[in-house]
Structure formats: structure tokens, C-alpha cells
Structure 1
């Protein structure tokens, strides 16, 4: 399920680009777009029209009236992936010779690397923008490629079900050489980083996207917490919560207790996210109390064991 962002328009023109990755601290937010030729201006306006008309309901774009060479996109993670229910922000700049050269793209990472294609410093490695190797059909084509195609590619090909296999050295090898076990661990780590990204967004939402962040997590907060608890208990594999097959049966994926590190991280994040989600007006259930109850039961069990040991001695 993807959020519709409440009443937040999927495409709109904004005034303030001051947080954009391609604006340096020395550039004033009101500076007019530099070195934009008439042809490039025409192509950018064409991109605006395509985005305004064809954006899916899980991608939102803001362009800037005083910097038409810049735009910011928010992409919702798809169900069935470790990115589900998250929001991921990308800053894009049109080069002066666009579309002959591909757009520049930076990911707002908050210092987290949760995909082989998305670096902690914001670098995006993707064949479509010529920042990674690829065959001719995968690379930027000035006559056909568009920003819409780029955003959909990021959502579907980068933020995918098994990001572990995005690693170039693994993508060319049969899965038997690396195994789904490593992929599962990578997805668990990715989900943890996605949860941390949610916290960062809720504490300091990107300028111009405040209402999207609030409405999205108000709508999805309870489901995110439910998924966290299910993954921590080993009820289902990360990404499988709430997913059903063609017959309507729940897709469980791997079952069994996940690694201790993952369980500890989720336990730490649940109360933090519950508090943040509650601030949006989301229902947060009694998940924090459930975790506290686990400790009470564990302490009670330990006490009973000690007493039985003493009386049996």
C-alpha cells in the first residue's frame, strides 16, 4: 500500500530551494537559474508537464520557481521491500546542456547507506544517469529518457525487494555463491536504517514537504510499528509483513528468530518511533508496553529459576 500523502499535491511549484543539495551555502535561494539556454528551458518545461500529468501516487515532486534547474522528489518505499512505508528524498539538478547530459542526482541519506546504489554521502550510482556501467539501452538517452523514468527506476530497481543483489559483484553471480541468508541479513540492516531515516524525517522534515511527512506517517505509523514487532519476533521475513499471495494467504518468508543485534535495534527504535508517530496523530497501539512486558516476564522467569535452584540445593 502506498500513501497518497493526504491532500499534498503530487506536483507543485515551490518558492524556497534553500535546502537543496545542489545549492551551496554561498548561493542565495532567490538566484535565477544560471546558464539556462532557451533549448534547455524548453526541455525543463516539458519535464514539468510530464511530471504534473503522469506521476504515480507514491512519488511527489517540488520544482522551484526561482531555480528551474532544481527539483526535489519524495519516493515512498514499495510494499514487499525492506523500504516499505518509508519516504526517501532525492535532489535533482538539470545540467546546462540538458537533455544531452543526464541530470545530477543526490540522495538525502542522513549519513546512512542502505542500498549498494545509494551512498552515505548522497551519491547515486545508476546506469540511467551514467554514474555506473550499463549497456546502451540502460544508459541516458537524450531523445527518450525523462525525469519520470528516472524516479520510477529508483523506486522499482533501486529500492527493491532484495537490495543485497544490487551490489555489482553479486549481481553477476548465481545466488548460490552468496545465498539468501546474506540477503536476509542485509534487508534487516536496511530496514533498521529505514526506520532511523523515518526518525530523522519526523524530527526535521524537508522544507516544503512538512505536511507530506506528517500525513504519510500518521497514516502508516501503526502498520510500521506492527511490522517492526513481526520482524523482531521472527513471524515473517523483513518486507513480507502484510503481503499476501494470489490465493489470499499471508506471505511469511523466512521464519525463526532473527539475529540478536537486529532484535535489539528494533527494540530500541520502537519506543522512539512510537513517540514520533504519536506526534503526527497516528495510533500507536500498545507496542511499547508489549516490549516492557517481555522484560517483566523474563525477569520473573529468571527469579523463578533462581528460587527453584536454591530450594533444590
Structure 2
């Protein structure tokens, strides 16, 4: 994952006006600089400042020490790759006796069994989901960094379908779930470009300028069935897979909107087509051909599209260097 230049992983800012918990009166409890709660939060700041990985960024507020905002960059090898996932955080007035409260910026999409449309985050470490004692919040040991790393590793993972309690083991259902996750990740990326969270405007713009080309290339690779959704760039996982009709149809509609949004943001997209042309199963089977025959035909058509994108991507990288 490319690092975003000139954007600190941890920083103190003044504008807390769009924070989800900004209307809370909780901040009045932190006026005393000698309070144990405030000391605990300042300790959290130091831990985050010194230990954040490349894929997590945090902003804390000088006027509201009880609040912070974090963004996690979706990891390669997951259907969340190249997406940005924002969380607003508030420390309770009895912190660290009780864990922090989190709100996920979902834009109305259910992107994970642990992340709800209303912003609720279900995690044992936050005491918002059941779990063994050692998995729950421990006032003497648990930290905000641990919460963020848990979301990154355990929630935004390779196969989020299996996070659902009681999910029947099914790779087919898991692949279908990943299709929807990738679509919603692309859609929320579009929304983030239109209205980035405060104090992250430069970060959002720079991130999607850098990642626009591979995101669109992944759209084409997934729609063609050349790569299983979530594994673009992971060459060991390249293989022809069956793609649902609804995924292809939705991707054909979404692709030009994303391309235009990335272009307006200043991304270099030379060589990419304006439209994502994906042959439909119906048109290729109109003469009564078998499903196997359809797959062989679509492979040839879409392979040309993907190869064109790959060549353009290579030219783009060479030009930049």
C-alpha cells in the first residue's frame, strides 16, 4: 500500500464540527487536566502517535479531548481493498473503566456483519458483542490502538461473510457477499470524494488520486471473472470464476461514475475506457449454447479488455516514474 505523503498518521486539530459525538455534553467532564480520565486519554494519544501502522490515521481534538476520528485503509487481499473506512470515537466519562464508543461512517450501507447501517460497531473488545472474557474490554490492559487493529484484522477481513453469527459454511455465499462488499466500498468511495470528513479532505483526495487506476482496473477484472473479488493484485489468486449477473450489471453502471469522479479529483486515467463493457449471459446464449460455452466466449472478450487496462496501467506507472 502506498503511503499518502505529507499527511501525518497522528495529529491534533481544532475543527470538531462534523463529529458524530460533537453534540454530546460528555466533554464537560474533562476540564480538569489533573483528572485520571484525562491522563488515561493522553496516554492513549501517545500510544497511537508512536505505534500506528501505515494503514491507519487518527485525528484528535484540542477542544474535545474525549473525541477522536480514525480512518482505516482497506487491505489488499480483501473486498475492502483501497477503500477508506472512517470511525468517530468518544471516550466515556469513566474511561478506562468502560470502553470507548464508536460510530462507523456507513453512508447507509451494511458493509460487514459487524458494521451496521446506523453506524453501530459490534466488537467483543467494545463490549458490544458477546465473547470470552479475554476478548472483552480490560480497563487495565485494553487500548484504543488495540480496538483499531482488531477492526482492521478481524472485521475488515478476507471473508467477512463468516463474521455473521451462525453463518453456514459456504464459499459460494461468501463470494456473493464479497461482491456486494466491493460494490458498496466503491460507492462509499464516491461519496467520500463528494464530501470528505473534516480534517481528512487532503488525505481523501490524495488517496483516491493514487489508487484510482488500480480500483478501476479491479472493477474490470472482477466483472470479467478473471480474478475473484477481493484479490486484485494478488497474482497467486488469479483464476476464472463465475460472477453473478447482478454484480456485472451494477458494476457496468457504477464504473463510469467512478471514473468521472476520479477524473474530477485529478487522477491520471489515460488508457481507461469510458465504459465497462461486459457481455451478458443472455446475449451470448441466445442460440441455446451451454453455460460452459458462454464462459469460454466471455473469457475471450473480457480478457482483451483487462489486458488493455493492464498495459495502460503499466504505461501510467512508467510515465509517473
Q: Same fold (TM over 0.5)?
A: yes
Q: CA RMSD in A?
A: 2.0
Q: Distance in 1 between matches of 2:4 and 2:81?
A: 15
* Residue 72 of structure 1: aligned partner: 69
* Residue 42 of structure 1: aligned partner: 39
Deviation at 1:6, TM superposition (A): 2.0
- Does 2:189 correspond to 1:198? yes
Contact persistence 2:102–2:120 (CA under 8 A):
yes
* Residue 12 of structure 2: aligned partner: 13
Q: Distance in 1 between matches of 2:243 and 2:111?
A: 19
Number of residue pairs the alignment of both structures matches: 280
* Residue 258 of structure 2: aligned partner: 273
Deviation at 1:42, TM superposition (A): 0.2
Q: Distance in 2 between matches of 1:285 and 1:147?
A: 42
- Does 2:100 correspond to 1:114? no
Contact persistence 2:14–2:63 (CA under 8 A):
yes
Deviation at 1:149, TM superposition (A): 0.6
Q: Distance in 1 between matches of 2:242 and 2:163?
A: 26
Cα offsets for 1:100-151 (capped at 9, x unmatched): 1000011011111110000000000000000000001100011111001110
Q: Distance in 2 between matches of 1:242 and 1:265?
A: 22
Q: Distance in 2 between matches of 1:278 and 1:162?
A: 31
Misfit runs of 4+, over 6 Å: none
Contact persistence 2:220–2:276 (CA under 8 A):
no
* Residue 216 of structure 1: aligned partner: 207
Deviation at 1:290, TM superposition (A): 5.3
The within-5 A match list for 1:76-91 is 76-91=73-88
* Residue 123 of structure 1: aligned partner: 120
* Residue 292 of structure 2: aligned partner: none
Cα offsets for 1:237-279 (capped at 9, x unmatched): 11111114xxxxx3225x2341111001111111111111112
Stretches of structure 1 that go unaligned for 5 or more consecutive residues are: 171-176, 245-249, 303-313
Cα offsets for 1:175-229 (capped at 9, x unmatched): xx43100000000001000001000000101011000001111111100000010
Q: Distance in 1 between matches of 2:156 and 2:269?
A: 26
* Residue 99 of structure 2: aligned partner: 102
* Residue 185 of structure 1: aligned partner: 176
Q: Distance in 1 between matches of 2:241 and 2:77?
A: 19
Q: Distance in 2 between matches of 1:205 and 1:241?
A: 26
Deviation at 1:283, TM superposition (A): 1.9
Contact persistence 2:213–2:268 (CA under 8 A):
yes
The within-5 A match list for 1:141-152 is 141-152=138-149
Contact persistence 1:82–1:188 (CA under 8 A):
yes
* Residue 158 of structure 1: aligned partner: 155
* Residue 307 of structure 1: aligned partner: none
Report the secondary structure of 2:27's partner residue: coil
Normalised by the size of structure 2, how large is the TM-score? 0.83
Contact persistence 2:112–2:156 (CA under 8 A):
yes
The within-5 A match list for 1:241-252 is 241-244=232-235, 250-252=236-238
* Residue 63 of structure 1: aligned partner: 60
Report the secondary structure of 1:122's partner residue: coil
